[in-house]
Structure 1
Amino acid sequence: MKRIITFGTYDLLHIGHIRLLKRAAALGDHLIVGVSSDELNISKKDRAPVYSTADRVEIIKALECVDEVFVEESLEKKGEYIQRFKADALVMGNDWEGKFDEYKPLCEVVYLERTDGISTTQLIGDISERL
């Protein structure tokens, strides 16, 4: 069984998230998703996600292509998560191209093309403009 792991915030779930998760799932037999904690997001983006960690975990768990979900507490623990979940491949969007190559000794690292024209940051901006 080929185990795939990926990570993300998954705030304001959109078509780009869905497409990336489906393509990641298609690369193996078991898709594991690390959902970034609220605290991790605040530390890296200087803002809290719109939805809480618990809500984002529940949303991702509900997706048919996802087999397992956990909370990612730290960016520095990616290697530990890869080993804990016995991942054969780490899959990320190509906006992270090269940034996770350090994990190649632990597993295959794959960067998938993102969906053009959509991002959570863009959606938040669009929604704010309409209010």
Structure 2
Amino acid sequence: MTTVVTYGTFDLFHIGHVRLLKRLRDLGDRLVVGLSSDEFNSVKGKNVIIPYEDRREILLSCRYVDDVFQENSWEQKRDDLQRENASIFAMGDDWIGKFDDLQDVVKVVYLPRTQDVSTTELKTVISEIQNEKIRQIQSLASHLSRLIEKL
């Protein structure tokens, strides 16, 4: 049995995540995901929108994912790979070269990311929508304030 292990945050689950998980699963018989905890994401400077338990449930509901465990630090990968009896460690190609030191225990593979979709971009769009709504409310409040002054 070929076990593939990957890691990620998988916040705001989107088509890029689905396509990556499918390609990862196609590499082996079993796909296990190390899901970054909310605390570890803070250490990494990431603000997650979806809490860990919800992100875990989403991943477990995906037909390509066989199991999920919690990632709490950068250093745990070697132990995780051995515990899971992994044959392949795979990540998106934005991590090329970062995990080559694990090649003594597994085959390390970097897969291309889905073009034109990312959680960061989604968060930017959401933030822009929020900011536009705030501007609209401020404009309305200013307009109402002027009307009240005239009364």
Sort the TM-score into its range (normalised by shorter chain).
over 0.9
Aligned mates of 1:37, 1:50 — CA distance in 2? 12
> Which residue of structure 2 aligns with residue 39 of structure 1?
39
Q: Which residue of 1 aligns with 2:128?
A: 129
8 Å CA contact 1:103, 1:109 repeated in 2: yes
What are the residue-to-residue correspondences of 1:111-126 with 2, within 5 Å? 111-126=110-125
* Cα distance in 2 for residues equivalent to 1:75 and 1:50: 21
Helix, strand or coil at the partner of 2:4: strand
Q: For residue 33 of structure 1, report the CA deviation from its aligned partner.
A: 0.5
Structure with a larger share of its residues in helix: 2
The root-mean-square deviation of aligned C-alpha atoms, in Å, is 0.7
2 CA distance for matches of 1:81 and 1:125? 33
Q: Provide the residue aligned with 1:99 in structure 2.
A: 98
Give the unaligned 5+ runs of structure 2: 131-151
Report the equivalent of 1:89.
88
Residue 130 of structure 1: how far off its partner (Å): 1.0
2-structure distance, mates of 1:107, 1:77: 15
The AA in structure 2 aligned to 1:43 is V
CA deviations 1:28-50 (Å, max 9, x no partner) are 000001110001100112x4310
Runs of 4+ in 1 over 4 A off after TM superposition: none
**What SS is found at the alignment partner of 2:75?**
helix
- What TM-score do you get using the length of structure 2 for normalisation? 0.84
Structure-1 residue corresponding to 2:21: 21
What percent of counterpart residues are identical? 48
Say which one has the larger Rg. Answer: 2
Shift in Å, 1:96 = 0.2
AA in 2 matched with 1:60: L
Equivalent pair of 1:31/1:66 in contact (CA under 8 Å): yes
How far 1:85 sits from its partner (Å)?
A: 0.6
| Counterparts of 1:58 and 1:73, CA distance in 2 | 18
TM-score by length of 1: 0.97
